[in-house]
A and B are shown apart, each in its own frame.
Chain A
Amino acid sequence: MENIIATRGLEKSYGRLKALDGVDLAVSAGSISGLIGPNGAGKTTTLKALLGLIDVRGELEVAGMDPRAARHRLMDEVCFIADVGTLPGWMTSRKLLDYVEAVHSRFDRARAERLLAGTSIPADKKIRALSKGMITQLHLSVVMAIDASLLVLDEPTIGLDIMYRKTFYDRLLNDYYDGRRTIVISTHQVEEIEYLLTHLLFIDKGKIVLDMSVQEMAELYIEVAVEPAQRERALSLRPMHQRELLEQLVCIYGGVARDRLEDLGELRTPAVADLFVARLTGDENHEN
């Protein structure tokens, strides 16, 4: 499949801190990718680079354009939501729609109004007077009414309660994603988006440490809830990560044949959060 994002050797430093240290990315069109990493790993810097909001070194192409040279043209093709607090508080939602309609050639006002009709957001109330949840719904409605090929979400639900978070992702999947559009999501709340993702990107210390499809992940990594009697054998197979859960050993293996593990206990695909911890804390010998 064609790549909508392609980067090679992206580098960005803030003083002596290397925020991006040779980031190589290839995101295929139509995928939903999760960019996952600890605080300070370089997630937001990567997304800002993709959007042309910062200057970086290296090769960079998004939707066939270099964001550093043509950010405003790229924004015809790309939408982004960077957390919940970025809509201008002095505007009303009606004025916001007026503005976006005037500046964005791909904005469908009727669709935005239909989407907003399903919410309790008042049209003439200032955005600063709305709750965080309402502001997020408003922003999402605006973005969903833009016919863009790439949507970038940077911690879009941070600070929201669980109801709003769930609604946000359900709307995204049901009313926006059509298999043609590409979505890149960066979030700490991995568990909540796990079911959406088709592709995983783990980033740590400014480097991509894992880049694979969810399907590949399921084939490569196996989590085993080890039977007490198999404990020694399980450890001898050198799991990339191990932890005790309710007095039971749980191991994650990478690149170990399934048939070698079947006798050890219950086999399952690791949760993304567990794999993430495993990759960041696991034995480097097991890296793939």
Chain B
Amino acid sequence: MRIEVQRFGALLRKEVREHANLFVITPSVVTLLLILIMILTIIALPESAERVLLEQSAGFLADLPLRSAVVVPLLLSMPFVPMLFLTWIIYLTVCLYQDRKDRSFLFWQSMPVSDLQTVLSRVVTAVFIIPVIAAGEVLLWLVVTMIYITPTMSDLGVSFAFLKALLLALDGALLFYCFAWLNGLLLMPVIGWFLLFSAYSRRVPFLLAMGSAVILALLEAWLLNSVYIGYRMSLTAHEGVFGWSDIPATLFSYDMLAALLLGGVLLAGATLMRRFND
């Protein structure tokens, strides 16, 4: 058991190292760009407009209880959502394809690691690790934003303004993380679908995955008069997580159960494809 845990940990570390550019460097550049845009916007704003903006934001945060105010940092982190989805798509498309393309597949297969462990390590990386990195970027972005707002909050008489702002930033980043992995679980059919094509394709896995999904969605709409595939593929799974209280309802929903069941079938397909695609 211990060796299995150690093995799985090594697989996760390997994924992060192999895709470090995608997971860390690109989001970091985006975060720095956001901060730069914020600074340039502030510089460009007339002083009176900046004052109004600051007072409104700080006043809003000051009036709300801490638990409810988390919606503000969560909304501030929304620019990171498309980046997260983009990272998922790129990662899931290449993660079972790239090693076959560069032939390192034969080295990985020479290790005592099962195809199921390989596929599961990709899923855990996508659903739980990529969001950790994204939440870290979100935290950085929120801390910078809160540092900017804190002096105005103090002026408005908020006690421990910096501490409150810091807690809000942390709360926002944690909620963003939960939002991310909950969406990851809800998008399990999409994850399974991309992994299936990543394990199957000899070239252009993204085009094959998307093309096949579009055809299936059209067939579904035509034959069954339903839009489940289109809904899942739209990558807008569940926008309803705006507070901690929304998490249990999302986690223990029929929607989640359906997503996990369908995702499980597709992941089994991806594992078999990895095993038998020669």
Q: What is A's interface to B at a CB cutoff of 8 Å?
A: 48, 51, 53-55, 71-73, 75-76, 79-82, 85-91, 95, 98-100, 102-105, 139
Known: A102-B9, A103-B10, A103-B112. A54 touches B107 (CB 8 A): no
Give the shortest distance, in Å, between A66 (CB) and chain B (any CB).
Answer: 14
Instruction: Convert B85-123 into 0s and 1s, putting 1 for each residue whose CB lies closer than 8 angstroms to a CB of A.
Output: 000000000000001001111111111111101000000
The 3 A-B pairs of least Cβ separation, nearest first, read A102-B10, A72-B114, A75-B112
Nearest A residue (CB) for B3: A105
Residues of B within 8 A of A85 (CB): 103
Give the shortest distance, in Å, between A42 (CB) and chain B (any CB).
Answer: 13
5 A-B contacts, Cβ less than 8 Å apart?
A53-B109, A85-B103, A87-B104, A103-B10, A139-B107
Q: Give bound CA distance, A87 to B113, whole Å.
A: 16
Total number of B residues with any Cβ neighbor in A under 8 Å:
29
Residues of A within 8 A of B104 (CB): 86-89
CB pair B111–A71 under 8 Å, yes or no, is no
Residues of B within 8 A of A71 (CB): 109, 114-115, 275
Q: What is B's interface to A at a CB cutoff of 8 Å?
A: 3, 6-7, 9-11, 13-14, 17-18, 99, 102-115, 117, 275-276, 278
Give the shortest distance, in Å, between B257 (CB) and chain A (any CB).
Answer: 30
Residues of A within 8 A of B107 (CB): 86-88, 139
Contact of A104 among B111, B115, B276 (CB under 8 A): B111
Count of A-B residue pairs with CB < 8 Å: 74
Nearest A residue (CB) for B9: A102
Q: Give bound CA distance, A81 to B18, whole Å.
A: 21
Q: Give bound CA distance, A80 to B107, whole Å.
A: 8
Q: Give bound CA distance, A88 to B99, whole Å.
A: 8
Residues of B within 8 A of A51 (CB): 109-110
Contact of B112 among A72, A90, A95 (CB under 8 A): A72
CB pair B276–A73 under 8 Å, yes or no, is no
Q: Give bound CA distance, A99 to B3, whole Å.
A: 13
CB pair A99–B14 under 8 Å, yes or no, is yes
Nearest A residue (CB) for B14: A99
Residues of A within 8 A of B109 (CB): 51, 53, 71, 75
Q: Give bound CA distance, A98 to B17, whole Å.
A: 12
Give the shortest distance, in Å, between A71 (CB) and chain B (any CB).
Answer: 7
CB pair B117–A72 under 8 Å, yes or no, is yes
Task: Pick from B106, B114, B115 the residue with the most CB of A within 10 Å.
Answer: B106
Residues of B within 8 A of A53 (CB): 106, 109, 278
Q: Give bound CA distance, A198 to B117, whole Å.
A: 38
Contact of A75 among B6, B102, B110 (CB under 8 A): B110
CB pair B18–A88 under 8 Å, yes or no, is yes
Residues of A within 8 A of B105 (CB): 86
Residues of A within 8 A of B9 (CB): 102
Q: Give bound CA distance, A199 to B55, whole Å.
A: 86
Q: Give bound CA distance, A89 to B18, whole Å.
A: 10
